[in-house]
Chain A
Amino acid sequence: MSISIHKICVAVVALCLVSCAKTEEDKSGKTGGESVAVFTKNQTNPFFQTVRLGAENAAKQMNVTVTQYIPTKPDDIPEQLNQIEDAIIRRPGAVVFIPVNSKAMIPGIEKLNAAKIPVVNITDRVLGGELVSFMGCDETNLALNTARFLLQKLNGKGNVIILEGVGGSENSANRVTGFKKALSEFPNVKLLASQPANFQRVQALQVTENLLQSYPQIDGILAANDSMALGAIEALDAAKRNALVVGLNGTKEAIDAIKQGKLLASGDCDGFTHGCLGTMAAVRHLRNLPVPKEFIFNLMVIDKSNFAGMDVPYEQRMCPAWETVVKGN
């Protein structure tokens, strides 16, 4: 079944690209009509949906076409490698790439290099291959700033727990490192437990329920993503307990929870802008405009004082102009 869906997708993509190729010929010499292939990690995490929307928005602004490649099995390494091979056959002008795994995707990038298709790497770093640019955020700092915000609200004392993401994923490891770094700045805060909940809401709910049993006093919960933070809040509510909770990613649901006063804050790296700037960088490279070799996005800790600007449906958001974000280029 997966194969047949796959084939249909490829057929659709092929049709689209055939028509793109035509417009490119028509407009030869002028800018516009280039094609960009955008690779994201899964269809389940809302963050990547915002990346894709950002890419679509930038593409519209710059008059290029975008093809999305998303593994049907979330974060599947072989599937993303296959999709790279499919993309090479379709020959997009450039690729905007988020690896499902930082190391395992190096051979994929090398294949794109061999096919002379330029690659802009966004969000999570690929640890090899030739890249036009890396544009992402510093996950460790993101977690550090967000945890610091919570620990300050606790006046530097109390008991906290950490909800980790998927064991062995670089993403989770960096975020947990950031949390622990912040904790080291507050010697009077005690880390009771750091337990994995695999970035999933159900598991975070159950792990928090379990930890609430063994610790009569939990003052703060540091969750490595928003879904887990919201799962933890459900567990707190059901047990009629109170604790300050922070998450990461700044999803719409998290912003609503901040509005309702349930979630203290969410550290955000703004996937929408990743999609925008990544696509813009790819197109700029094709149009011989300068692109920085590396760009780190600003971090933002969203809380009830500043959520208003973020509380706009992504469908209505517009990509910022390149120059306002990437200065000095």
Chain B
Amino acid sequence: MNSQRFALSADVSSLIYRLLGVLVLGIVLALSSDAFLTVTNLLNVLRQASLIFLVASGLTLVIVTAGLDLSIGANLGLSACVTAAAIKATGSISVGIAAGLACGLFIGVLNGLLITMLKLPPFIATYGMLWMVYGINYWAMAGNTIYGFPESFRDIGSGYVLGIPIPVLLMFVCLIVGGVFTRYTTYGHELYAIGANTEVARLSGIPVRARLILVYTLSGAMAGIAGVVYLARLNSAEAGIGDPLLLPAIAAVLIGGTSLFGGVGSLTGALIGAVILTLVLNGMNLLTISGNWQPLITGVIVLLAAGIDTAARKRNEARA
């Protein structure tokens, strides 16, 4: 009788529970540093989080289908280097961006084909892809860096529109488009169905192969976009720039409540995960915590954040 009302409020309250980790962290930081709760610092946190979110968003779709994409960091690195080389070679920013996006997308398509046509497990297929992409990039760059790009290109990473950093705007565009895609389109629903039970999804007429190729392509394309934004932000490309990003991106997705077993997850979750990871670094810097303690503190906070989220969701599910 009351199920309708409960279902609605459960939806809203789950989001609030999700934000609990971020809120707790935010309050602690606001109390301990005057610099934290300022508009510039919060925009600064969002801009840093956007770099993680862009790769994490594509990865979320992959993980929703119970897959995994380990090639995103390497893909980001190669896409950034391809963009850099193309801009240097042609002098055209649009050619550079197109080349970088095409590179990311192409790697994604290859992942999708390896997984659907050769039936390789996603972990192995994308792990192999990681090494191939690394290999190509390290060989091509040979330890060199490509640097120094036109201001108009660098604006993609460090410019503002209406006072909001462009990477943050890109993040919100991606969040809205992706949110509509996953929640309100048949395509989106099919991804969850595939993740929940591939066999049932197949039997109910969902073109599983085509959808899987689609998600890996999207994941690759997002890594490509992130590569372009990274390059614009850093004004420099080197072979290894994507390496440190793989685990944080996976962590952001999982902290946000997406399940590695598939069928569950959301882009808002990935955003929350990315923000939590960014807040940890921001907070430690603002409080100038010694480097000796930073890894330990990062670990504790990640566990706490994930713990709060899990507990809150359990409670929420019990109430619903």
Contacts and interface: CB of A to CB of B under 8 A. Distances in A.
Interface stretch (B82-90, B169-177, B236-244): B236-244
Nearest to B294: A196
Given A202-B244, A214-B33, A234-B234, A45 B143 contact: yes
B38 interface: yes
13 contacts: A1-B130, A43-B240, A44-B239, A44-B240, A201-B234, A201-B236, A203-B244, A210-B41, A210-B285, A213-B286, A214-B34, A237-B158, A252-B144
B149 to A, nearest CB: 11
Contacts of B35: 213-214
B135 A5 contact: yes
A138 interface: no
A97 interface: no
Interface residues of A, number: 42
Enumerate the 10 nearest inter-chain pairs by beta-carbon distance, A residue then B residue, closest first: A49-B143, A210-B285, A196-B291, A44-B240, A214-B35, A1-B131, A193-B288, A1-B128, A213-B41, A238-B158
A211 B33 CA distance: 12
Given A167-B291, A234-B233, A44 B41 contact: no
B142 interface: yes
Interface in A210-236: 210-211, 213-214, 227, 230-231, 234
Contacts of A167: 291-292, 294-295
Interface string B212-241: 000000000000000000100111101111
B138 interface: yes
Given A5-B131, A205-B233, A44 B238 contact: yes
A308 B285 CA distance: 37
A200 interface: yes
Given A195-B285, A234-B235, 4 more contacts: A46-B144, A52-B143, A167-B291, A196-B291
B234 A231 contact: yes
A205 B281 contact: no
B125 to A, nearest CB: 10
Given A1-B127, A196-B291, A209-B44, A256 B148 contact: yes
A74 B74 CA distance: 14
B192 interface: no
Contact of A198 (B33, B244, B245): B244
Contacts of B245: 202
A211 B292 CA distance: 18
Given A213-B44, A213-B286, A238-B158, A43 B233 contact: no
Given A72-B134, A74-B240, A201-B234, A49 B282 contact: no
A209 B291 contact: no
A256 B147 contact: yes
Interface of A: 1-2, 5, 43-46, 48-49, 52, 72, 74, 164, 167, 192-196, 198, 200-203, 205-207, 209-211, 213-214, 227, 230-231, 234, 237-238, 251-253, 256
B133 to A, nearest CB: 10
A16 to B, nearest CB: 17
A281 to B, nearest CB: 23
B145 interface: yes
Contact of A210 (B44, B230, B234, B236): B44
Contact of A205 (B40, B143, B234, B240): B234
Contacts of B147: 230, 253, 256
Contacts, number: 116
B132 interface: yes
Contacts of B240: 43-44, 74
Given A1-B127, A194-B291, A213-B41, A49 B144 contact: yes
Q: Which of B145, B158, B286 has the most CB of A within 10 A?
A: B145
A214 B143 contact: no
Interface string B183-210: 0000000000000000000000000000
Contacts of B239: 43-44
Contacts of B288: 192-195, 211, 214
Contact of B145 (A46, A52, A207): A46
B48 interface: yes
Contacts of B243: 44, 74
A202 B230 contact: yes
Contacts of A207: 281, 285
A202 B231 CA distance: 10
Contacts of B47: 209
A46 B142 CA distance: 8
Contacts of B238: 44, 46, 201, 227
Interface in B106-147: 127-128, 130-132, 134-135, 138, 142-145, 147
Contacts of A1: 127-128, 130-132
B169 to A, nearest CB: 16
Interface in B145-165: 145, 147-148, 158
B236 A230 contact: yes
Contacts of B48: 206, 209
B63 to A, nearest CB: 22
A200 B38 CA distance: 27
A11 B33 CA distance: 57
A78 B115 CA distance: 30
A52 B273 CA distance: 41
Interface string B47-71: 1100100000000000000000000
Contacts of B135: 5, 72
A209 B50 CA distance: 14
A46 B244 CA distance: 18
A238 B36 CA distance: 19
A43 B81 CA distance: 15
A130 to B, nearest CB: 30
A214 B48 CA distance: 16
Contacts of A195: 284-285, 288, 291
